[in-house]
Amino acid sequence: MHKTALMFAGQGAQAVGMGKDLAEASPTARAWFDRANAALGYDLSSICFSGPESDLTQTEHAQPGIYLVGWVALMALKERIPSLQFQATAGLSLGEFTALAAAGVLSFEEGIRLVRQRGLYMQQACDVTQGGMAAVIGLDEEKTRAVCLEVGVTLANLNCPGQIVISGPAELMATACERCKAAGAKKAMPLKVAGAYHSPLMASAQPKLRAALSGIVLQPPAAPVMANVTGLPHGSPTEIADRLIEQVTAPVRWEESMRYLIAQGFTRFIELGPGKALSGFMKRIDDSVQILNVADAASLDATVQALLAPAPAVS
């Protein structure tokens, strides 16, 4: 019997057209896009389906858009397999909010409004700071951390073996990349982002997010939800709110959280939402587990087929 964990994508997974064929294939899915538009008071679905890309990549649209498509992917999967069971959820950065909604901690509408506010607050922080991020390939955490301390930048995402993202003041990123290469990194490449996410430069977003969270009554999770900040399951609703606020400036401990789930006996991971980045990370963390994804109608069909396939006979 598989123990199944759901995984929800983070910012950067957005792509014009995301969710469109799911909405076209299912009136139920289309209804969720309509609910999102009503909750936000503007036509987010149109931005997801048709762009333009310049609008979709704006943090205030990208974050609720990715949340929405991740949720719709889960609802489409549940529509096809009403008996679907999962024993944990996890999400990368903003995906943690989708993971919390999937576990019943907050409603769909509360989540999408909160994620849009988070995106606005983070964009405001980007606007008043000059920050950047870079992907470091092929250098371990200890050596990358040492470079960060030396240069004055921070670890932002600990994604999988051989892939770490660093974050900090824009004027330091080129130096940080060169030092990482000198320390043995195969590559160290600046990323096209609006600012230094998951670094102290985002601190101005935290009190605003705390105020937004104070207007929501969070419920205890119906299944364990992994916290990006700790790499461990969330605790009480009060602790969940605290971790979500910390997450804005703290590193995302994705690899650690996935290894925790694997150690707990999880053998099936379903990525929900645009792209396949989390599936790629999982292949590098442990390629012995079953990895499925739902990003569009074709991947939905493939995942349904895999989940409904009879278990192999035990000899």
User: What's the confidence (pLDDT) of residue 313?
Assistant: 52
CATH architecture of 4-127+204-308: 3-Layer(aba) Sandwich (3.40)
- Residue 315: is its pLDDT beyond 50? no
Catalytic annotation, residues: 93, 198
User: Token pair of 55, please?
Assistant: 């609008």
CA 88-92-94 angle, 5° bins: 110
- Residue 201: is its pLDDT beyond 80? yes
Where exactly does CATH 3.30.70.250 map onto the chain? 131-190
Contact, 166 vs 144, CB < 8 A?
Answer: yes
Contact, 234 vs 225, CB < 8 A?
Answer: yes
User: What's the confidence (pLDDT) of residue 2?
Assistant: 87
Instruction: Give the tens place of pLDDT for each residue, 145-190.
Output: 999 999 999 999 999 999 999 999 999 999 999 999 999 999 999 9
What is residue 243's DSSP assignment? Answer: H
Give the CATH superfamily of 131-190.
Answer: Malonyl-CoA ACP transacylase, ACP-binding (3.30.70.250)
